[in-house]
Structure 1
């Protein structure tokens, strides 16, 4: 693993706009994971992680609990890199210091003059939208504001690498959505290389330039959000990112797979030759549903989400599937209605076994 050395400090008096311009000009640091391994007793948390984070990029480490994402972040942070800032899930604000003093703490440790500390803290509180909260203590602020103070403190030393360990998980949905946008805006404007750990796929897909999905200490796939969603490299990624149906299918002699009466090309490796019964992975938006008294599917329930309604249906073989339809189309498919379900004609992932 490596990071680039910190950039030279700007002279006192530099305002927030100039600092942002400098950061973008200098670019963030390049971060490389080259096969680190970390075990806790017999449990292997990291097993040869190979990833590169380009300067100024936001890379999200995504995966279930125990996959190694937080361990990867802490291994990276364990190097003595004075330009690396960290924001932990608990925020770690000093309860006896107000917001201004918390932001300026690292500058005080570096013996930056008091006047410059106050100036820098004021710049950063303004940058994160808290210019009037400098005199407030952590217990006087909401979780979202505490998070902004923690972010400002991490930015005080003008880091070229910022490490975020599930910083939004303790917040309510509305505050979390707003802070996602705020963190991304700041990261882009300041040009800081950022590694963001989360178990929330929505956070990862909405914020990151690339997402690395980890499983058992290893990356299953690292790609741009759209590619990760549209072309998952493995069934694990397909299942973890977004919602996925597994529908029984049959491999044909031509290398296609037959599912729900439709032949589809197989995307990626197929099960071993000779395997006939397979499970076909199809996302809810890639299923078409039409009312049909002779259809083999039955609508079980419907969940209204505004413009889209998610239908839960039982196929003729008993397989339960989810289908996302425009709400206007789904209105005629009430629970108990018979329907015809077909997959959209596009390449699909398959795995051995029956659903």
Structure 2
């Protein structure tokens, strides 16, 4: 499948999107608490966070389905905060597909063009072109009930692209699909987005989805932006304890702060970033950073085969549980009940206030 001349022309118009001080309250609940965020032209930015963090509210404000109590939404510097949804020049794909059951795939894709009074021949040609773009060239005459979930979502994507939007909005579009289809479709969405060069905002609560698809990921928590960064930076250099624990797996190991360093597991390590104003802290560590050796006062309590790596869960003498990802051939030596010791590499670590 290739990008057509028609779609390439749309790709040159990728927009900059800005959220400035967005605040939205629903009764006593603050959905957005002063959101400031910029989506760069042509990038795919994922809004990631738990349910209720405000990510969908932000997306709906960009689409024009919600109005902020204060703050502004700008597209290429133009304030669109009060512009009706149908004039936003944005295409949206929902989790539920939202296809018209009485229309076949071709007519579903062409529906928006028909509403804009595009001539029959032109809209059918464009709809057929987009179905080919999403790999459904031979499914145009099938109705939604005759298509799989993945195929329906591709039709929904083609329909969103039919009007050549400058911004594409994806509201958890893969969450209703099974794991294998979800993996395939997220790769196709990313390929299409890169080929078309369209500015895209993608809402998800699935961290793997966000990290594998996005140019940058904006992690949200209780209406606030915790960190916005490229996936590798977000994973390797989380700005807050919430980001560290929400993105990927993280163990907390008790430590003691002193003079800008922390004592943990019998080691003294430098602190990465700002340290809390307390002495007793938790050191946050990824499982791939934990070393395991035979012999010691810790015990292996579980192992989980992950393919090339095996996750080994170790209980320290004080009851703390630590996860370590080891090459599977090495992990074979550490069965449940094995006496071991654990260590951390000699590099700065992230610390947070102790939770227990």
TM range (shorter): over 0.9
Counterpart for residue 8 of structure 1: none
| TM-score normalised by the chain length of structure 2 | 0.92
Q: 1:347 to 1:40 in 2, by over 3 A?
A: same
Give the aligned partner of residue 279 of structure 1: 282
| TM-superposed deviation, 1:20 | 3.1
CA distance in 2, matches of 1:296, 1:224: 39
SS in 1 for 2:4: helix
Tell me, yes or no, if the aligned pair for 2:63 and 2:88 is still in contact at 8 Å: no
What TM-score, normalized to structure 1?
0.92
Aligned match of 1:207 in 210, 213, 236?
213
8 Å Cα contact 2:3/2:195 also seen in 1: no
The answer on whether the counterparts of 1:248 and 1:354 sit within 8 Å (CA) in structure 2 is no
Checking the alignment, whether the CA contact within 8 Å between 1:89 and 1:165 is kept in structure 2 is: yes
Q: How far did residue 21 of structure 1 move?
A: 2.4
Of the structure 1 ranges 342-351 and 102-111, higher mean CA displacement relative to structure 2 is found in 342-351
Matches within 5 A, 1:80-95: 80=84, 81-95=87-101
- Aligned-residue offset at 1:164: 0.4
What are the ranges of 5 or more consecutive residues in structure 1 without an aligned counterpart?
1-14
Q: How far, CA to CA, are the matches of 1:121 and 1:95 in structure 2?
A: 17
**Cα distance in structure 1, aligned partners of 2:322 and 2:179:** 27
**CA displacement at 1:82 relative to structure 2:** 4.3
CA distance in 2, matches of 1:242, 1:338: 27
Match of 1:338 in 2: 339
* 8 A Cα contact 1:100 1:134, kept in partner: yes
Q: In the alignment, which residue of structure 2 is the partner of 1:12?
A: none
Please point out which of 114, 126, 145 is paired with 1:120: 126
Aligned CA RMSD, in angstroms, stands at 1.2
Moved more, 243-252 or 15-24: 15-24
Equivalenced residues, count: 335
Q: Aligned ranges for residues 19-98 of structure 1 at < 5 Å?
A: 19-24=6-11, 26-78=12-64, 79-80=83-84, 81-98=87-104
Deviation string 1:74-95 (CA, Å, 9 cap, x unpaired) is 0111143342000011110001
Please give the alpha-carbon distance, in whole angstroms, between the structure 2 residues aligned to 1:46 and 1:347: 33
1:226 is matched with 232
Question: Is the CA contact 1:68–1:214 (under 8 Å) kept in the aligned structure 2?
Answer: yes
The superposition leaves residues 118-149 of structure 1 with CA deviations (integer Å, 9 ceiling, x where unpaired) of 10111000000001110111111111000000
CA distance in 2, matches of 1:267, 1:51: 25
1:354 CA displacement: 5.5
State how 1:240-259 maps to structure 2 within 5 Å. Answer: 240-252=246-258, 254-259=259-264
SS of residue matched to 2:226: strand
Written as runs of structure 1 = structure 2, the 5 A alignment for 1:177-192 is: 177-192=183-198
Q: Distance in 2 between matches of 1:38 and 1:260?
A: 45
**8 Å CA contact retained: 1:89, 1:170:** yes
Aligned-partner SS, 1:97? coil
**For the Cα contact (< 8 Å) 1:84–1:161, is it kept in 2?**
yes
Tell me, which stretches of 5 or more residues in structure 2 are unaligned?
65-82
**Contact 1:160-1:193 within 8 A present in 2 as well:** yes
Contact 2:91–2:165 (CA under 8 A) maintained in structure 1: yes
Q: Alpha-carbon deviation of 1:304?
A: 0.3
Q: 2:147 pairs with 131, 141, 144, which one?
A: 141
Deviation sequence 1:145-176 (CA, Å, 0-9, x none): 00000000000001110000000001111100
1:150-169 superposed matches below 5 A: 150-169=156-175
| 1:270 partner SS | coil
* Cα offset, 1:276, TM superposition: 2.2
Offset at residue 244 of structure 1 (A): 0.5
Contact 1:20 1:189 in 2 (8 A): no
